[in-house]
Structure 1
Amino acid sequence: MQTPSANPEQGAEPKDAPAAVPGPVQMVRTLHLMQDQIAIGSTEAHLGQRGLLGILDDRFKDFPPETWQNSKNVRAAVSFVLSGGNPGTLRKLLELGSGVVTETDRPLVEGALAYVEGREEAAQSALASVDPRSLPPALGAQLALVQSALIVRKDAAKSDELLDFVRLQAPGTLLEEAALRRQVFVASQTNRIEKFRFLATEYLRRYRHSIYAGNFRQRLASALTRIDFGKESSHFDGIVAMMNELEPEARRDLYLLVARSSLEQGLTTSARMMADKAQELSSADQASAARARLYRAASMITSPQAIASAVDDLRSIDRNLLAGSDLSLLAHALIMAEQIRKLPEPADRMAAAEPAKTLVATGAPAEPVPAQGLDQLQALSKARDALSRIDKMIKNQASSKE
């Protein structure tokens, strides 16, 4: 006896019927699922992404023109290109004419194409009228991410607002990971320290295994050197709490990176504080301990009270534990300490400074200032920020030997 479901005339599909080809919307969802795995650290997804993009590029080329009569498919094509797909997909849609891309979708298509082709002004002009809130959540988040990048140099506050929107629209996705990465540095550049700390903590807590986390940590170290903990020591405990989200070894390496970068910026108090934290985590690693001692001692040579002990520490460091750049830093820190020791005593500096003050106030010196005295004053004023120029000194020294 034949069951109803086995009768083709009653709606059953023949056994050899071809499988339905996924449409643009389904294809883009598949791509996004893979990319979201990249955000949590899947190297397999990262490696597989290029292959999947290649397959989808071919599929998008093969869709017949009538596919694009549906606005959802047009918007899926925009999402595909913003996710790394071939820009030719959008050029093809525009070439098909107004019968395919509606006047409503045209700014989105033209703006997305201009953005991925690096035509920022055209992209900004086209996308300025498109409201991310009017689009489906994923595409709206993508558009907001693009808009934030286009305006960040002109309007950091608006860029920050757009990145907030991305995080709310696309939690747990590569879009949120990218928004957090960018927003941390927007907050840093606008000196919103509390928001910077909160966002960086969120990133380290949730995305520290992301494929892009290494780049994030490098940029985080650079952002931290913009904070002068000598003037803003109240922020230090918050930064330490943020760093505690990392594993001890990664935390130690980041403290060392920030300590070194702070030295190069002349932020000696910041360098010392970071080096102290690195030293606490370096008991099992002699090379890291040596670096922490170096950065701490180098940060102390501009302090009259600490210069003697700092020099002793510098001289006692095992050079075999240091890399080439740190050996150069050690050598130049010792040279700088010697120069600082040769500066006049405080009383002599004050006496020499009075004629200089008169010169600034009146435009003419009350008495001639000896050239040697001016040289000493200039040397003194430069001593505090000399460490920020160590790398430049090294490069200049290398050039003079060539």
Structure 2
Amino acid sequence: MMKPLPVALGVVLMTVAAGMAARAETPVDAGSEKAAAPFPAPAIPGPVQMVRTLHLMQDQIAIGSTEAHLGQRGLLNILDERFMQFEPEIWRNGKNVRAAVSFVLSGGNPGILRKLLELGSSVLTEADRPLVEGALAYVEGREEAAHEALSAIDPHALPPSFGAQLALVQSALLVRKNPAKSDELLDFVRLQAPGTLFEEAALRRQVFVASQTHHIAKFQLLATDYLRRYRHSIYAGNFRQRLASALTRIDFAKESSRFDGFVAMMNELEPEARRDLYLLAARASIEQGFTVSARLLADKAAELSETDKASATRAKLYRAASMIVSPQTIHDAVGTLQDIDRSVLAPSDLALLDSAIGMAGQIRTMPGQIPVQSAEAKPSVTKVSADNKPSSDAATQGLEQLQALSRARDALKRVDQLIKNQASPPQ
């Protein structure tokens, strides 16, 4: 089986084609008795062909080609120059105008869109103008102007690839105002452009829309699909970081049935990547105060950390930190925290360790807390009044205990912000 040609070859072919066309235009020496007939010059690729070349390269990025990722910048530089050199007549074709819009939305220089707007009605139709104005506003960060220009355009009425790209932009403009509509547009992108960078981007974004709108079943389904098909994407590392953050919105103490589905999703990853994501999610769950989630995630990370001391230590830290808010487990948790090898922890985890130990000491001395030694030595007794009703002392003790646990969780949430503030450079 022949190996596929390197994607960077598209750059070479385009350059050669342009060079051959230029040589073909050079006049033949009139003094020669027998001038050789010139080779027929291949046409210089037009805007549509150029954008197709760019998208083919970007589709390779979606499946993890580092060569395509490195070559993309060089191709964009070539296309930037070629787009600006086209004669105005070429832009009277609506397909070429849409190619220019697609080029800019794919990372190209927005200067070409400014040029088209300057040429005005001599090249742009009334149907094309909103596309050009909206795309330019979008890449310049003018979201309201972009939404106003693009919202009325139906991506279903456009060619599949361009319609998918426009829908991707529309979904980004709507995600805060109308998450349901944004989610619908991302569904459309995935159906229109399977196997492309557009689908990879749509799937990556849709996972977090589902998380934010608490569609947990869809979140797990989409995340599993992404990890199965695009785990080698150049953007997969960022996806995993955001996935860990999204997972903290799920409190497995309230939705324990979801945990098995989450584990099945994680099994799509290699063991090392799975372990790292469990650790990220466990740490983030502690910061959110989801102590049951943190313990479950830390246990899974520990199972995958037998040969990695640093990861095993982190798993032990997160598990113990999640247990200090429970009177039944605080004693053992403190012992574990005090035995942890500090030399293998990063500064942020050292800060968490110190905070957890200090917090455990405060929890033990809070009003209403039973000293750990006493709680282990004898069972607690509820006082009963003469009319066989629990006394107010017992009710007060229970309320104070719940308040203490709440304060402890709130303090845990502030740990990460404290670390971030200490690590931030002065303004």
- TM-score > 0.5 by shorter chain: yes
Q: Does 1:301 align with 2:324?
A: yes
**Structure 2 equivalent of residue 383 of structure 1:** 408
Deviation at residue 19 of structure 1 after TM alignment: 2.4
* Aligned-residue offset at 1:350: 6.1
With over 3 angstroms needed to count, the CA separation of the structure-2 counterparts of 1:397 and 1:55, relative to structure 1, is closer
Structure 2 CA distance for aligned equivalents of residues 141 and 384 of structure 1? 44
Match for 2:414: what amino acid? R
- C-alpha distance after superposition, 1:198-225 (max 9, x if no partner): 1111111111111111111110000000
Q: CA deviation at 1:82?
A: 0.8
Aligned to 2:262: 239
Instruction: Give the structure 2 partner of residue 7 of structure 1.
Output: none
Deviations 1:179-204 (A, max 9, x none): 01110000000000000001111111
Instruction: Verify: 1:25 aligned to 2:48, yes or no.
Output: yes
Would you say the 8 A contact 1:290–1:318 is kept in 2?
A: yes
RMSD over equivalenced CA pairs, Å: 2.4
- Structure 1 residues 354-386: Cα deviation after superposition (integer angstroms, max 9, x where no partner): 5999xxxxxxxxxxxxxxxx9x98645412433
Partner of 2:31: none
1:109 is aligned, of 132, 157, 164, to 132
Give the equivalent residue in structure 2 for 1:366: none
**Could you list the runs of 5+ residues in structure 1 that have no partner in the other structure?**
1-12, 358-373
Distance 1:300 1:182 in 2: 34
- Report whether the alignment pairs 1:351 with 2:374: no
Partner of 2:350: 327
Counterparts of 1:319 and 1:44, CA distance in 2: 40
Equivalent residue for 1:134? 157
1:230-266 C-alpha deviation (Å, 9 max, x unpaired): 1111111111111101000000000001001111111
String of CA shifts for 1:257-314, please: whole Å, max 9, x gaps. 1001111111111100000000010011111111101100110111111111111111
Partner-residue secondary structure (3-state), 2:120: coil
Match of 1:370 in 2: none
Decide whether aligned partners of structure 1 residues 394 and 112 sit closer, same or farther in structure 2, where only a CA change above 3 A counts: closer
Structure 1 contact 31–52 (Cα < 8 Å) conserved: yes
2:170 counterpart (147, 150, 171): 147
Unaligned runs of 5+ in 2: 1-35, 371-381, 384-390
Shift in Å, 1:113: 1.3
> In 2, Cα distance between the equivalents of 1:195 and 1:210?
21
Compared CA separation, residues 232 and 28, structure 1 to 2 (3 A) = same
Alignment partners' CA distance in 2, 1:386 and 1:194: 31
Paired residue secondary structure (1:45): helix
State the partner residue of 1:189: 212
The percent identity for this pair of structures is 75
Number of residue-to-residue matches in the alignment: 370
CA distance in 2 between partners of 1:356 and 1:230 (Å): 21
Which residue of 1 is the match for residue 240 of structure 2? Answer: 217
Partner of 2:188: 165
Q: Distance in 1 between matches of 2:277 and 2:224?
A: 14
* CA pair 328-244 structure 1, distance change in 2 beyond 3 A: same
2:286 maps to 1:263: yes
Alignment of 1:40-189 (within 5 A): 40-189=63-212
Give the AA of the match of 2:271.
P
Aligned partner letter, 2:212: Q
Does the 8 Å contact 2:324/2:330 carry over to 1? yes
2:301 to 270, 278, 301: 278
Change (3 A) 1:106 1:208: same
Paired AA for residue 413 in structure 2: S
2:227 and 2:268 in contact (8 A); partners too: yes
Aligned letter for 1:289?
Answer: A
Residues 198 and 398 of structure 1: CA distance in aligned 2, closer, same or farther (over 3 Å):
closer
Q: 1:392 to 1:22 in 2, by over 3 A?
A: closer
Report the TM-score, using the length of structure 1 for normalisation: 0.87
- Could you tell me how far apart the structure 1 residues matched to 2:266 and 2:302 are? 15
C-alpha contact 1:244 1:251 (8 A) present in aligned 2: yes
1:352 and 1:377 in contact (8 A); partners too: no
CA shift, 1:315, in A, is 1.6
Relative distance call for 1:27 and 1:397 in structure 2 (3 A) is closer
Letter matched to residue 43 of structure 2: A
Question: Cα distance, 1:391 vs. partner?
Answer: 3.2
Which among 277, 280, 287 is matched to residue 310 of structure 2?
287
Tell me the SS of whatever aligns to 2:43. Answer: coil
Deviation at 1:166, TM superposition (A): 0.4
Comparing 305-314 with 257-266, greater Cα deviation is found at 305-314
1:323 maps to amino acid = A
Any conservation in 2 of the 1:141–1:169 contact (CA below 8 Å)? yes
Aligned position for 1:8: none
Q: CA deviation digits over 1:89-129, x for unaligned, max 9?
A: 11111221213111121111111111111111111111111
Matched, 1:253 2:295: no
Query: Residues of 2 paired with 1:175 and 1:46: CA distance?
Result: 15
Query: In the alignment, is the contact (CA less than 8 A) between 2:244 and 2:281 conserved in 1?
Result: yes
Give the Cα–Cα distance (whole angstroms) in 1 for the partners of residues 93 and 203 of structure 2.
33
**Distance (whole Å) between structure 1 residues aligned to residue 327 and residue 52 of structure 2:** 63
Give the deviation of 1:395 after TM superposition.
7.0
- Give the partner amino acid of 2:411: A
Tell me if 1:36 matches 2:36. Answer: no
Q: 2:230 aligns with which of 207, 212, 217?
A: 207
CA distance in 2, matches of 1:207, 1:177: 7
* TM-score normalised to structure 2 length: 0.82
Structure 1 residue identity aligned to 2:412: L
